[in-house]
Structure 1
Amino acid sequence: MSAPNSLLGTLLHAVGGISAASCYLPSTKTKGWSWNTFWLAQSVFAWFLVPLLLAWLTVPNFFSIIAEAPSKPLWMAFLLGGIYGFGGMSFGKAINNIGYSLTYTLAIGISAVVGTVMPLMVFGGLEDFFTKPGGSIVLLGMALSIVGVVICGWAGFKKEKDINAENLNKAGFNMMLGLILSIIAGVLSGVFNLSLEYGQPIADMAAENGAGNFEGNAKLVVSTMGCFVVNVVWYIIASVKQKTIREFLPNKNNKKTKRPLYKNWLLSSLAGTLWSLQFFFYGLGHVKMGEYQFASWVLHMSMLIFFSYIVGVIMKEWNNVKKGTYTLLIIGLVVLIVSFCVTSYGSS
C-alpha cells in the first residue's frame, strides 16, 4: 500500500463529490417512467451490481472474505445500511420538492457533521477529537459548514417566496417539506458512515488479502446491500400499489407513446454507477488521509455540496429569484468553500 498523502486524498474526495453531485441528473432525461420506476431501476446498479462488481474486481478472494467475516461487523454494517436506505428515499423525494442544489446542501451539510461525530460517540475518541493536532481546525471547518447550510436554507425560503410572488411555482417547489425530507436524509446519511465504520474489520481482512487501497470496497458492498434490500422491497410495493410497475414493460399498443426502455435503463445504470463511484473514490481518499481519516466524511460531504451547487446553476434552478436571494446563495456557497478549505488544512 502506498504512503498516505492528504493532498491526494483531498483530490480523490473531490472526484467522488463530482460523481455524487451529478448522479441523479440522468433522471431528468428518462421518458415514460415515474420516479418510482427510475428509483427502482437505479437502485439495482447503485446498491447491488456496481458495488459487487467493484469488490469482485479489486478485492482478492472477496467472496471468501465475506464468508469468513465476523458476524457482528457484517450484520451491523448490513442493518445500518438498510436504515440509510430510508434516507436515500427521503433524499430523492426532497429533490422533487426543492431541487438539486438545496437538497444536497441541506442533507449533506447535516450528514457531514452527524457522520463525523456519530462514529466517535459510538466507538469512542470524541474527547481526543478536540485535542488532537489539527482537530480544532477541523472542528472550525465543521462549524463553518453548518453556518453555510443555515445560510443556504435561508436562501431556499427566500427563493420560494420569490417564485410564489412571480407565480412561477409550477413545479411544486415546497421548501418546508423539502427541508424536513432533507433533515431525515442528512441524519440517516450519517448513519451510513456509521455502517461503514462497523464494516471496517471486513476492510481490514481485504487489506490482509492484498486489496491495498481498494480495501474499502469489501465493506462498502455489505452496507449498500442493506440499502438495496430496503429500497427494492419498498418501491416494488409502491409500484404495485400505484400501478407503475407496468412501466418496465414496452407499450406495444401505441407506437407514439412507446417507452424507450433501453435508453431509460442506460440512464438508470449511469445514475447508479455515478452514485457508487462516489464511495469508490471516498474509499481511496479515506485510505490516503492516513491518521486524519476521521476528517474524511466531512471533507467528502463538503466537496459534494460545492459541486451540487455547480449542477444547480447549470440546471438554472436559481434563474427566477431576486438579486438579494442569489447574493445570499453565493454567500452560503463561499462559506461552504471556506469550510472544506479549513477542513483540508486541518487534515494536513
Structure 2
Amino acid sequence: MFIGIAAALIAGTMLGLYALPGKYTSDFEEENKWSLFFVLTMFVVPLIATLTLMKGVGNIYSGIDSSILLTMIVSSFLWGVGVMMWGKAIDHIGLSLGFSLFIGTVILVGSVLPLGIAISKGQPLPSTPAMIAILSGIAIVLLGVLSNGRAGLTREADEVALKAAEDAKAENKESTQSKSYALGIFIAVFGGLLATGFNVAFTYGAGPLGDAVKANGNPGWMTAMAVMLPVFLSGGVVMTLYFLFQLSKKKAWGKFKTPAFGKNFILIFIMAFFHYAASAMYAFAADSLGANGPIVVYAIFNTTCLVVAVISGILTGEWTKASPAARRWLYTGLACMVIGVLVLAFGQTLDQAPAAANSSPIQQLVSHA
C-alpha cells in the first residue's frame, strides 16, 4: 500500500510541476517553448517508454479493431487541442489559475460524462446516496472553478490599478491586459472540455488493449501506456501542424539558434518527461492499491496536483501584486476543488463492487495526461 500511495503522490507532484521549468527558458518565444515540448512529450518520450518497457508492442496494436482505433484517433485530436490550449492558458494566466481551471473543468466533465453514458445506454444509475455524493462533489468542484475565475479577474484588476498608479499610460494597457486574462480563463476552461476526449479514447480502447497487454506478458497498469501511445501520437499531429504554422507566421524559427538552446532543451525535456510520466505513474499506483486503488488514487492524484501547481505559482511570484481579496478567492477555489475531489471519490466507493472499481475513476484520472 505504501508504494501505491507514494506513487500517487509522485504522479500528482510531477503533473503539478510539469510546466514550472518552462518559466526558466531564455531567448525562446512561447511558440518555440511549446512546440519543442509537444514534440518531446507527444512523440519522443511515449515511443521510448513504450518500446522500452512494453513487451509485444507490434502484437498488441495489430489486433485492435480499426473502428476502435479510428474512434480513439478522432477523440485524441480533440484532446490534443485541449492540452495545447492548456499550455496557452498557463502563459496567459500563470500556473496557479491555468492548472486549477483546466483540471477543475476536466474533473467536472470527467465526473458527469460516465453518468451521461449510463443514461444514453439505459444502464442503471448509482444508488441515491452515491448520486447525492457525486452531484455534491460536482457542485463543490464547480464552485471552485468559479472561485478561481473570480480570483483571476480580481488579480487582473489589482495589477491594472497598481500599474495605473505607476504609469500615466496604464489606461491604454488596461484593455489589452483585461482581454488577455479573460481570454486565458476561457482557453483554460474550453481546453479542459476538449481534453476529456482522452476519456472517450480510454473508454473505447482500454478493454481490447488491456486484454492484449496482459496476453503479451505485461502487467495490467501498462494498459494506460498502451492507450496513451496512439492518443499522444494522434494529438501530437494536431499540435505539430498548429505550431508549424505559428512558428512560420511569427518568424520564430530563428529563435531556436540561441546559445541557450542546450539549457532550454533540458528544461523542456523535464517538462515532457513529467507530463507523460505522471499518467503512467498514476496507472501503476492504481494497480498497486488493488480493487479500490483507482478511487484512492483519484483523490490523492488530483489533490496533490492542484495543491502543488497553486503553491508553485505562488512561490514563483505570480500573485505578488495580487490583493488579499484575490488570494482569498484563489485559496477558496483550491479548497473547494480539493474537498470536491474527496467527495467525488467517496461517492464512487458507496455502491461499487470491487470488480467494477476500475472503470470510471481510472478514465477520469488518465484524462489528465
TM range (shorter): 0.7 to 0.9
Alignment of 1:181 onto 2:176: no
Alignment of 1:46 onto 2:52: no
* Cα pair distance change 1:338/1:119, threshold 3 Å: closer
After superposition, the CA RMSD in angstroms is 2.8
Q: How does 1:68-147 map to 2 (within 5 A)?
A: 68-122=63-117, 128-131=124-127, 134=130, 136-147=132-143
Counterpart contact for 2:16–2:304, Cα < 8 Å: no
Segments of 5+ residues of structure 2 without an aligned counterpart are: 165-169, 350-369
Separation in 2, partners of 1:12, 1:331: 27
Counterpart contact for 1:116–1:294, Cα < 8 Å: no
Matching residue's letter, 1:142: I
* Cα pair distance change 1:83/1:328, threshold 3 Å: closer
Aligned to 1:254: none
CA deviation after TM superposition for structure 1 residue 291, in Å? 6.1
Q: 2:218 aligns with which of 211, 228, 236?
A: 211
With normalisation by structure 1, the TM-score equals 0.86
SS at match of 2:196: helix
Segments of 5+ residues of structure 1 without an aligned counterpart are: 251-257
Q: How does 1:1-348 map to 2 (within 5 A)?
A: 12-122=7-117, 128-131=124-127, 134=130, 136-167=132-163, 172=177, 174-200=180-206, 201-212=208-219, 213-248=221-256, 250=257, 258-287=258-287, 288=289, 290=291, 293=294, 300-348=301-349
SS at match of 1:199: helix
Separation in 2, partners of 1:308, 1:31: 22
Counterpart contact for 2:100–2:334, Cα < 8 Å: no
Mean Cα deviation higher: 154-163 or 320-329: 320-329
Separation in 1, partners of 2:202, 2:163: 45
Separation in 2, partners of 1:295, 1:79: 30
* Cα pair distance change 1:138/1:264, threshold 3 Å: same
SS at match of 2:163: coil
Separation in 2, partners of 1:319, 1:53: 40
Counterpart contact for 1:27–1:271, Cα < 8 Å: yes
Separation in 1, partners of 2:229, 2:333: 34
Mean Cα deviation higher: 278-287 or 15-24: 278-287
The alignment covers a number of residue pairs equal to: 335
Separation in 2, partners of 1:211, 1:235: 36
User: Identity of paired residues, percent?
Assistant: 23
Mean Cα deviation higher: 8-17 or 176-185: 8-17
With normalisation by structure 2, the TM-score equals 0.81
Separation in 1, partners of 2:129, 2:60: 35
